[in-house]
Structure 1
Amino acid sequence: MSGVILAGGRARRMGGCGKALLSLSGKPLLGHVIERLAPQVDGLVLSVECRDENLERFGLEQVPDPNPGGGGPLGGLLAALSCLPEGSDWLLLAPCDAPFLPPDLGSRLLRSAVEQSRPGALARYQGELQPTFSLWHRSLEPEIRRAVVERGLGGFKQFLDLVPLPAVDWPESDPPPFFNINTPEALERAEALLRRHSDRM
């Protein structure tokens, strides 16, 4: 299983800067996500809108969106799937602004996909689907390509309406496992959560 981190988004509510480099407890958000995702996969790449020299410090291959600004997260997934190394059939996806993502994300999603003979799976938390925390089989690449290139789809939910995948429910926990940082207030809350749970993080 390989992994990809969606690192191309910009936080409009945080001054338009790249979220990956926002500092959380003295470390870039992307650094927190890499620490949690890397042990779950055999290899890890960054999905970016276009190559960013500021991300080179992390030592990961950057996979640019073939349609910058137009492909959305689905375009980023397509680019990463097309670069899957030989012998790796599964791609684990996560966003760059989720510092508390579960350490068993990949194993639980893979188990669900295999048990139900489906080409992927996604997380669900408190009844809400979390499509950016998901697992995709390389066999979906042609279908995703058609959705992006021919239908102009950019969002996961649109694609999942066409190709439903099983959802894996996660138990409630503190800190919330799929907490995203989209506002200054969310960043402050993440700082507080890290301080409170520093012995467990």
Structure 2
Amino acid sequence: MTAPPSVPVGVILAGGQATRMGGGDKALLSLGDATILDSVIARLAPQVGALALNANGEAARFACLGLPVIPDPIEGFAGPLAGVLAGLDWAAGEGDETIVTVAGDTPFFPRDLVARLQAEAAGMTHPLVLAATPRGVEETKSMSAGGRVRHPTFGLWPVGLRDDLRAALEGGVRKVVQWTEKHAGREALFEDADAFFNVNTPEDLERARRRAGA
């Protein structure tokens, strides 16, 4: 009988510059009685064994959360792959085998995210799976070969490939799928595209507040 997958640790990616929101930490913006980040933590914490926050700059601003704050190991805002590497390095130090990443500005992601990613990774030597949704009518995001919309900040990542990822980043790789496809990464399909709605603009924030209030 195949052993069940080990429980991964969770890493919240909040290392972006939030340029379309005027800079700052958009994850700390209010959403009802809490913040966007509070909502993200509440959804992810029950699904993982431990949590860390990937963020750059002064870590003290997140002190009230009581979470490890891990900065990008690659300078110059190298994108989400740098946050993934930060999470893999942290997990390696904790003795963990896999991490699941989520975006810090996406408060409504699925409550079964981790289970679905792990199920799709069955049989993989290095579990590497990204979340995906069906294509929308006017979808403009990058598409996979199967006609799905990939959500590259939501994924299952193996600690065993962290040195390979580090080398790729140092070699200039920035696109998530450029690296995952090299390692035959898979996709876990989620039917609800709205589950991965993220806050990029002030208009998005108002939409998220209406949804949270409802």
Taking structure 1 as the reference length, the TM-score comes to 0.89
User: The residue matched to 1:54 in structure 2 has which SS?
Assistant: helix
User: The residue matched to 1:83 in structure 2 has which SS?
Assistant: helix
**What CA deviation, in whole Å up to 9, does each residue of 1:71-119 have, x standing for no partner?**
3211111111011144421100001011101111011101111245552
Tell me the distance in 1 between the aligned counterparts of 2:130 and 2:175: 14
What does 1:38-53 correspond to in 2, within 5 Å?
Answer: 38-53=45-60
The residue aligned with 1:188 is 206
The residue aligned with 2:3 is none
Alpha-carbon shift at residue 53 of structure 1 (Å): 1.6
- Rate the CA distance shift 1:195–1:110 in 2: closer, same or farther, 3 A: same
User: Given that residues 128 and 180 in structure 2 are in contact (C-alpha distance below 8 angstroms), is that contact kept between their aligned partners in structure 1?
Assistant: no
Tell me the distance in 2 between the aligned counterparts of 1:27 and 1:10: 21
2:190 to 149, 154, 170: 170
Alpha-carbon shift at residue 42 of structure 1 (Å): 0.5
**What CA deviation, in whole Å up to 9, does each residue of 1:115-136 have, x standing for no partner?**
4555211110122011111000
User: The residue matched to 2:23 in structure 1 has which SS?
Assistant: coil
Q: Quick one: which amino acid aligns to residue 104 of structure 1?
A: D
Instruction: Between 41-50 and 111-120, report the one with greater CA deviation.
Output: 111-120
The residue aligned with 2:127 is 119
1:16 to 23, 38, 44: 23
Identity of aligned residues (%): 40
User: The residue matched to 1:34 in structure 2 has which SS?
Assistant: helix
- Rate the CA distance shift 1:186–1:135 in 2: closer, same or farther, 3 A: same
Q: Which runs of 5+ in 1 are unaligned?
A: 197-201
Q: What's the RMSD between the two structures over aligned residues?
A: 1.6
Tell me the distance in 1 between the aligned counterparts of 2:119 and 2:55: 28
What does 1:2-81 correspond to in 2, within 5 Å?
Answer: 2-81=9-88
What does 1:96-111 correspond to in 2, within 5 Å?
Answer: 96-111=104-119
**What CA deviation, in whole Å up to 9, does each residue of 1:15-38 have, x standing for no partner?**
112112111113111111000001
- Number of aligned pairs? 193
